[in-house]
Amino acid sequence: MEPERWLSDLKVIIFDMDGTLYQDHTFMERYIRYLLEDTEADAHTEAAVSLGMAILAGEHPVQCGYFYDEARDLVLVREADRFVHALNWDGAALPIDAAMAAMPAGDTALPEQLIPFGDPWGIAAIMGRRYKLPEQKRLEAFRRVREEMVREPYIFPTSRSLFDALASLTAIEKKVVMTNTYLESGLAFLHFMDIHHLFDEVYCGAEKPEGIARYMKELLAQGYKPEEILSVGDNAWNDLEPVHRLGGRTCLISPYASAESMRWDLRLTELEELEQLLRQVQQATTRRMADHGQNRADQHLQEI
C-alpha cells in the first residue's frame, strides 16, 4: 500500500471493533441457526444459511451495502444517495414507488423498516427480521453467539502484529474505538484481545451511524479539523458515511464484496494492510512533528 500524503495530518483515528480489529465470519452460520431454531421458521434454516453465505461471498444479486425493506421483504439498491430499484430474494429487479425513489438515501435517519446491512453481523440480523422473529429471540441468538466467540472451540482469530502496531501508534492525539455491541460483550472482546488499554476512549453501545456523527461533531467543536480525523471500519453505513459527510477521512476494511458506490479514501481487505497503515501513520506523523520542531528551531535562530 502506497503511503498517502494526508496521513501526516491525522490527529484522531476512530476504529470500529467487530470486523475491523479482528476478522471472522465463521460465527454467521451459527448465528443464523440460533435465530431460526425452535421457531416456525426452523424448516428454512438451510436455505437461510445458504443465502447468507452466498451474499457474503458476492455470489448473489443481493450484496452487502444494500438495504432491507422489512415491510415489503425486498432489498433496496442505492446509487448516488437515491434508491433506484428493489430486488426480490431471487435477484429479480423490481420498481420502487415514487416516495421511496425521492427519499434521500444518505440520511442516517432512515424509516424504521429500512435496515442497512454491510457485514456478516448485518446479514444474519436481516434473516431474523425476514422471518419475523420476536426481538427477544433475536437478542438471545446474538448474545449466545458472542459469548461463544471468546470460548473454545469458537474463539475468533486475532492478529498480534496488528495490536503491536496499534500500541506503537503514539504520535496521534486520540485512538478511539466505537462499537454498537452492548457494553458487556464489547468490553469482553476488547479484554480478550488485550487491547482495551491501547485506546484513549472506548464507546460500547455507540448507536452508529448517529453515534459516530455526534462524536465527529464533538471533535470538530473541540477544534479538530475534518481532515485530521480518520474513521476505520468494515460497515460503510455505520462507520464511514457520517464521517465522510462531515469532511473526515475514511477507510473501509473488509474481505467481502460490497455494493457501496461511494469512494472512500482507502479501501483495505486484510488486517495486514491495516497494520501497515498504522505504521505508516506513525511514521508520517512523527516526521511531520520533527519537521515542525526543526522549522521552529530554525525560525528561532533566524530571530536571534
Contact 8, 288 (CB under 8 A): yes
Q: How far apart are CA 117 and CA 123, in angstroms?
A: 6
Whether residue 202 sits in one domain with residue 100: no
Whether residue 288 sits in one domain with residue 189: yes
Whether residue 120 sits in one domain with residue 68: yes
Whether residue 164 sits in one domain with residue 49: no
Closest CA to 258 of 229, 285, 233: 233
Contact 143, 94 (CB under 8 A): no
Last residue of a domain, one of 126, 148, 170: 148
Contact 10, 228 (CB under 8 A): yes
Whether residue 169 sits in one domain with residue 296: yes
Lowest mean pLDDT among 48-57, 80-89, 117-126, 247-256: 80-89
Per-residue confidence (pLDDT) for residue 261, from 0 to 100: 57
What digits encode the pLDDT tens for the residues 199-225?
999 999 999 999 999 999 999 999 999
Instruction: Give ∠ CA 192-197-200 in degrees, rounded to 5.
Output: 130
Distances, alpha carbon 68 to alpha carbons 8, 14, 53, 71, in Å: 39, 27, 17, 9
Q: How far apart are CA 212 and CA 216, in angstroms?
A: 6
CATH number of residue 208's parent domain = 3.40.50.1000
Whether residue 254 sits in one domain with residue 169: yes
Domain count, the chain: 2
Last residue of a domain, one of 148, 172, 188: 148
Whether residue 185 sits in one domain with residue 105: no
Last residue of a domain, one of 95, 130, 148: 148
- The owner of cell 473541540 is 222
| pTM (predicted TM-score) | 0.93
| 161: β partners | none
Assess whether pLDDT exceeds 60 at residue 302: no
Per-residue confidence (pLDDT) for residue 297, from 0 to 100: 38
- Residue 225, CB half-sphere, CA atoms under 13 Å: how many? 5
Q: Where are the alpha helices (DSSP H) in 37-131?
A: 45-56, 98-102, 120-130
Whether residue 295 sits in one domain with residue 167: yes
Whether residue 292 sits in one domain with residue 170: yes
Q: Is the preceding peptide bond at 209 cis, omega within 30 degrees of 0?
A: yes
Assess whether pLDDT exceeds 90 at residue 290: no
Whether residue 225 sits in one domain with residue 141: no
Whether residue 259 sits in one domain with residue 114: no
| 203: β partners | 178
- Give residue 10's domain range: 5-23+157-303
Measured in Å, how far apart are the chain's first and last C-alpha atoms? Answer: 44
Whether residue 223 sits in one domain with residue 143: no
What digits encode the pLDDT tens for the residues 14-41?
999 999 999 999 999 999 999 999 999 9
Phi, psi (rounded to 5 degrees) for 76? -100, 140
